[in-house]
Amino acid sequence: MSASTSLEAYRALRADRSRWLPIALDIARGHGLDTSSPHVFSTGTNLVVGLGDKLILKIFPPPLRAQFVSERGSLMQLAGRLQLPIPEIVAEGTRDGWPYLIITRLAGKLGSEVWPSLPEAQKERVLRQIGETIASVQRVPLGPLAQIQPRWDDFMRAQMQGCKARHTRLGLAPKFLAGLDDLLREAPKLIPMDAPPVILIGEYIPENFLLACDDGEWSLAGLFDFGDVLAGWRDYDLLGPSAFMAAGRPGRVRSLLDGFGYAKLDYSLKRRLMALMLLHRASDLNSHICIERWQEQADDLVQLQELIWAG
């Protein structure tokens, strides 16, 4: 593994575990860890290996060093400050210019495996817990995470500049693109640019949390993957659960927002969330809005925000 690896070369390397798994296991052995039953996680961006059922080794390619900085800084800043379990850093280091973390492995079932089959009342319960978790993360002081780049105002302005080109490229229907200029004109007033920033995880989605069942009741049991952390305006973190989980169902939307601390879902909040959803760094409405036939149900962005944040 070379320190000058490009992202393209890295993707090829990642797909061929015979090229990197022996090095990963050598790193683990160097820390005196058991490597007898490694488990390679195929999803996610980085090289991730489970070492038994207690530890995980996460190796970051040099082009994604910012993710290492974000993950390390977030785990250190959030340690001991949340009720929900998050991984703890056991060891860290660098091999040939590739930084790595060895972290504890959380107990529970991956949210994406469990979520689709949960009864509606339990989906609402979990979404309320997600809203509460977002709020509790955002109450933690920023500390060193205040230095994470880009700064919120720079990030938002860059997203606004590239927004129309991005969604045109991704094939957003012309009827929605038509309303984009109006929304982008409103965006600087809708979205606080210089309000006190909070910790933003960026991706509260089923792939990044664990659920556990106690006597038939499913609950949030752990949160992981802090590689995309930003410091910025609090509402940004409502977008993942709104798009992937609430699915335009009023009870789910209400539960998420209640847990977060928003008692009132009015036009201006919906408008701000719609703007932020289009400006999110991973924004791709065609792939991310989990409402069946939503393209047919809404004629423009205003109808779309009413559909996503129903109630």
pLDDT tens per residue across span 193-234: 999 999 999 889 999 999 999 999 999 999 999 999 999 999
User: So what's the pLDDT on residue 4?
Assistant: 65
CA contacts within 13 A on the Cβ side of 306? 7
**The pairing of beta strand 217-223 with beta strand 55-59:** unpaired
* 240 CB burial (10 A radius; 0-12, 13-18, 19+): buried
Q: Alpha-carbon distance 106 to 56, whole Å?
A: 9
Q: Alpha-carbon distance 273 to 37, whole Å?
A: 44
User: So what's the pLDDT on residue 7?
Assistant: 85
Q: Alpha-carbon distance 144 to 74, whole Å?
A: 9
User: So what's the pLDDT on residue 121?
Assistant: 97
For the chain, list the strands marked E by DSSP. 38-41, 47-51, 55-59, 89-95, 98-104, 109-110, 198-200, 209-214, 217-223, 230-232
152-169 and 267-279 helices, crossing angle to 10°: 80
Q: Which residues of the chain have pLDDT under 50?
A: none
pTM for this model (two decimals): 0.94
Q: Alpha-carbon distance 226 to 41, whole Å?
A: 16
Q: Alpha-carbon distance 264 to 261, whole Å?
A: 9
Residue the block writes with tokens 């809404």 = 298
CA contacts within 13 A on the Cβ side of 29? 9
Contact 57, 24 (CB under 8 A): yes
Q: How many CB atoms lie within 10 A of CB 103?
A: 22
